[in-house]
Amino acid sequence: MTERALILDFGGVISRTLFETHDLSEAALGLAPGTLMWRGPFDPATDPLWRAMQADEISERDYWRQRTQEVAQLAGRDWAEMSDFVRAARGASPADVIRPEFLDTIEQVRAQGGRLAILSNELDLFYGARFRDKLPFLAQFDVIHDATYTKILKPDPRAYSAVLDALALPASACVFVDDQLRNIRGAQAVGLETVHFNVKRPDESYGQALALLGM
């Protein structure tokens, strides 16, 4: 069997999104239930900032920068970065929000001799470098490409090419999974097979990825 690789975005592809865990964030930050109302892809009609991001009027970093400042004000915190928000909301046990479908998928890929890579625009920027120490599954990944350090963000074709070079595999041997359509289009432009991850149906998205890998 030809060597194959699964390349994953981090964020909502691997873990439940902050949109899905408002209750946990509110409890961790001492906020009343129902305080956090923005729902992003789960209710775009009530999240104009999310719609602006999807229309490329602002970047994903701009979106989370504003949400971080809003929540910091509500919680009476002094946060400089998105990672401060994530650590405060999830830092005690980040493994609790990891998608089980993700863990099952990487186990299947490894069991069938496949390789694994992460291609993230802001893994350590959003989560903080120490976050990785609490996620032992990251040791299973052959490549982790984080634009926090490279400064080359998806959908720039150089981001995808860097991961392919690190894997030493052609685009045709890899499947890329991301929840942002702009990043999917960027991957397709360099010849990658893709799955536009549906945060509402993670099981279906991971099933599609495994099928494309022939697993």
**Torsion on CA atoms 99, 104, 110, 112, rounded to nearest 10:** -150
Q: What residues make up the domain containing 192?
A: 5-16+98-213
- Same domain membership, residue 113 and residue 33: no
Q: How far is CA 205 from the centre of its chain?
A: 14
Question: Residue 55: pLDDT above 60?
Answer: yes
pLDDT, tens digit, 9 for 90 and up, residues 81-96? 888 898 898 866 777 8
Question: Residue 56: pLDDT above 70?
Answer: yes
Report pTM: 0.86
- Same domain membership, residue 82 and residue 109: no
Tell me, what's the pLDDT at 128? 67
Q: Which of 39, 70, 93 is the last residue of a domain?
A: 93
Q: Tell me the percentage of the chain whose pLDDT exceeds 70.
A: 96
- 154, 184 contact by CB (below 8 A): no
Question: Residue 9: pLDDT above 70?
Answer: yes
- Same domain membership, residue 65 and residue 46: yes
- Same domain membership, residue 139 and residue 34: no
- Same domain membership, residue 10 and residue 104: yes
Tell me, what's the pLDDT at 199? 94
- Same domain membership, residue 120 and residue 61: no
- Same domain membership, residue 30 and residue 111: no
Question: Residue 125: pLDDT above 80?
Answer: no
Question: Residue 66: pLDDT above 90?
Answer: yes
pLDDT, tens digit, 9 for 90 and up, residues 148-166? 888 999 999 999 999 999 9
d(CA 128, CA 81): 9
| CATH number for the domain harbouring residue 171 | 3.40.50.1000
Q: Tell me the percentage of the chain whose pLDDT exceeds 90.
A: 77
Beta-carbon count within 10 A of 18 CB: 24
- Same domain membership, residue 176 and residue 110: yes
- Same domain membership, residue 108 and residue 87: no
Q: Which of 30, 65, 93 is the last residue of a domain?
A: 93
- Same domain membership, residue 199 and residue 103: yes
Question: Residue 22: pLDDT above 90?
Answer: yes
User: How many domains in the chain?
Assistant: 2
- Same domain membership, residue 102 and residue 88: no
pLDDT, tens digit, 9 for 90 and up, residues 176-199? 999 999 999 999 999 999 999 999
Tell me, what's the pLDDT at 87? 84
- Same domain membership, residue 107 and residue 189: yes
